[in-house]
Structure 1
């Protein structure tokens, strides 16, 4: 499945139906009078969150969504039928922006949540509405009003509780594959992961927690360098960051500082999010090196430091136990 997390669409609400001019023409009713009905309201465009969707791929091929127009009024004071609303399904975690003003219109987070994005036009008034003592036989009616038209930008932010971060080749994809049933593409070169991978990890209670393997960040990511903003936004909603450090790298401390600087530069409170630091690939280095690294990291952070090997599954039980402990102490994030 192709992962698409940004899309721009146009939504067009239905036009209201026209009011009509009509008069009563009934037997034994000598003075008929106006009887033109009002037009029906145009359909609105409504977005609805669907848990089964994981991507905005559908909007790559369909970009204009129109609701049905209202029907014109009828004789005998009959109001025209309302136009049908257009319902558009989007993945949970979709933020909706006005593409012209950049204003946030709404945030669709929970399954079934809806958001009205374009109001249908009002139906026009029939000539009966204009009956008065001065005008007993009005011969005019009003047309229906146009519905709203808007350009929207849809931005999908993954709804994962745990975000796995780190430089390319830190072992994030290997870890999420070891912890869950996710099967991401894994290879021994940078930027193997070009899309976020999601995996559900079961708690001892049986509940599932979503982990997100966020593609490798690099220096300057907060300024859009590399994959930059394409993926930093996906950790905005995570409650916990699992920072993976490749202990076989040339300078693990510099790697750690690079990611921390990017989180701070990006803002939105990411640098204050609870973190667990996991030294990965410990099967490939000596204990003495691990001890020295631990000593140096304790000078830089108060975060919990664990030692694991995603390949051999060493230390993963201890890692998950710490993740559950931190999540139990962390309140769910308020969605802006």
Structure 2
């Protein structure tokens, strides 16, 4: 054939590459795979270079590269490496979205969510990171404007905003959905506005001299934290000497007798200074942010109240 490279029909090109004739014709019609020549009857013919070009087109399309980008690669405006880098980033985003969707479906199944709750959860999980931040920041700003909280208290809220990661665990996603439901609830906003963030020690026991309260509250907090670290259950026998030490310190500082009246008064004081729903919010924030729960940072009041109201073992004489 005097060194002339033979040309291939669409059927021959299909047989050599495994690409359907219809697909080759489509790429040819769109200009991605122009024929090398045509027969007198108008049939398309392709040279060997078309085989490599067709393989590249198919590879890019299987990687979900759009036709316009494929054309730019073929024209030399973009390198394959540049396209691969861009699509790797896009694919990573889609993978994160699929993982989030997977976690949400598991959450819906686990909670047995209603139709309305499922729609709400879907909307909440589709918010962008900026939209989530704005949602929580608006909640905190509203509290700051509506309550006599000190400036430092509002600052504390703002420095502990929940930040849902790009690839949250099931627990983090569930916590974020619960936070979003809480901050959208008028009743919770009212409770958060009225609940004192950990008050100054001297303000934690109304009616008690500030200097006495400033001595007692740190002692209780440290004693309970140590008990928690040691794994002491507030309703277990091991809690008895712990709570007795707390009551003994209160009796000595306040000049009162250790008895049922003092213990019930202490339980009432600690119970009034603690809102379990507000505590729930902070625990959810810790979960979303994947912060380690430190016993010394947990509210001490629930543990003390449980221990104080636990029936005391009968004395044997």
The bucket for the TM-score relative to the shorter chain is under 0.3
More strand per residue: 1 or 2? 1
Return the TM-score normalized by structure 2: 0.24
Return the TM-score normalized by structure 1: 0.23
